[in-house]
Amino acid sequence: MNNLIGKIGIVGNGSWGTALAKILTDNGHTINWWVRNEQSVQHLITRHHNPHYLTSVAFKPESIKPTSNLEYVIANSDTLVIVVPSAYVQPVIDATTPEMWKGKNIVSAIKGILPEKHVLLNDYLEEKLGIHINDYFAITGPCHAEEVAEERLSYLTFSGLDTDRVQAIASAFNGCYLNTTCNHDIYGTQYAAVLKNIYAVGAGIARALDYGDNFLSVYITNCYREMYHFLNKHFELFHPESDLPDFHTSAYLGDLLVTCYSLHSRNRTFGTMIGKGYSVKAATLEMNMVAEGYYASKGMHSISTRFDIPAPIANLVYSILWEQASPQDTFKKIEGLLS
């Protein structure tokens, strides 16, 4: 075991958490795995697969240690991968103490914003638990859990300020169907992951409103331009002493493209249902999954206002989801923004 990462624990067992568990165990790692539901824990122990997510993925019994005891997973892991949906992660963090996390590598696989605080996970962890950003790392795509389950070649980007540790963490995931790259842009990759989910909800709404591929290609191009402007402006405001990252890579543009176009995209699916007239509650119940873009749209509306960085397309999607604006009328406004 690499002494920079030690024992690995996963906090969360949705489809993405299950996919990450598969990647790590396929690469020979034994994982401690926090699973909220005790019935799911017992199913993993006796049947060796997740009963609710990626059910086709079978785990070797000796490779996983599932438990509903979060304190056990934290205490017995050196590197903790947090993959609870952003809408539900704050109560999980609040149930812990700063002492529990001391000396740990914290890896976020959350592609969202905490809904009550409207902040990224690293900012909340620093505020609540005193976790320094040097001990924090972020995983971003483009990568769908369903394709990981099928072992189709996928790519992940790992972001962190400590070069040795971020490379060690990335190497734990690198394997025959998963390639990894690293960078130091913790904030940019996370904000890109948040924004692409909002834009993907919009892409789904557009599809439901019978806009075609020609429109979608222009829409996504303009979404990337808006994302690029946001990331540039944020970097200039908060990291003026550093070199600007390369935003024309898969962690930014690639993740946006796959999330807007893929039928695996839950955010696109959610948007399609909204465009067809479903309420947010009805769409959520129908999907039985969390669409991060719904909560992200409110968070980014707050952040873009607070930092005075315009994000007109993202804010118009927000108006549909949170202010009950007409999808048809709103997309007429979006049409006027595109070029």
> 276 exposed, middle or buried (CB, 10 Å; 0-12, 13-18, 19+)?
middle
pLDDT surpasses 60 at 86: yes
Cβ atoms of 297 and 196 closer than 8 Å = no
pLDDT over 90 for what percent of the chain? 91
List the domains of the chain with CATH numbers: 8-184 (3.40.50.720), 194-337 (1.10.1040.10)
What pLDDT does 290 receive? 76
What pLDDT does 242 receive? 84
Residue with tokens 């003026």: 240
CA 339 to chain centre: 29
pLDDT tens digit sequence for 181-237: 999 999 999 999 999 999 999 999 999 999 999 999 999 999 999 999 999 999 999
Determine phi and psi for 335, rounding to 5 degrees.
-50, -40
Alpha carbon distance 140, 147 (integer Å):
15
Q: Report the DSSP beta bridge partners of residue 67.
A: 34
pLDDT surpasses 70 at 324: yes
DSSP 179-209: EEEEES-HHHHHHHHHHHHHHHHHHHHHHHT
Alpha carbon distance 172, 5 (integer Å):
9
Strand 8-11 versus strand 154-159 pairing type: unpaired
User: Which residues does 233 contact at the CB level (< 8 Å), separation at least 6?
Assistant: 307, 309
Provide the pLDDT confidence category of residue 112 given band limits of 50, 70 and 90.
Answer: confident
Q: What is the mean pLDDT of the chain?
A: 95
pLDDT tens digit sequence for 246-291: 999 999 999 999 999 998 899 999 999 999 999 999 998 898 777 8
What pLDDT does 302 receive? 95
What pLDDT does 306 receive? 93
pLDDT tens digit sequence for 40-71: 999 999 999 999 999 999 999 999 999 999 99
pLDDT surpasses 60 at 135: yes
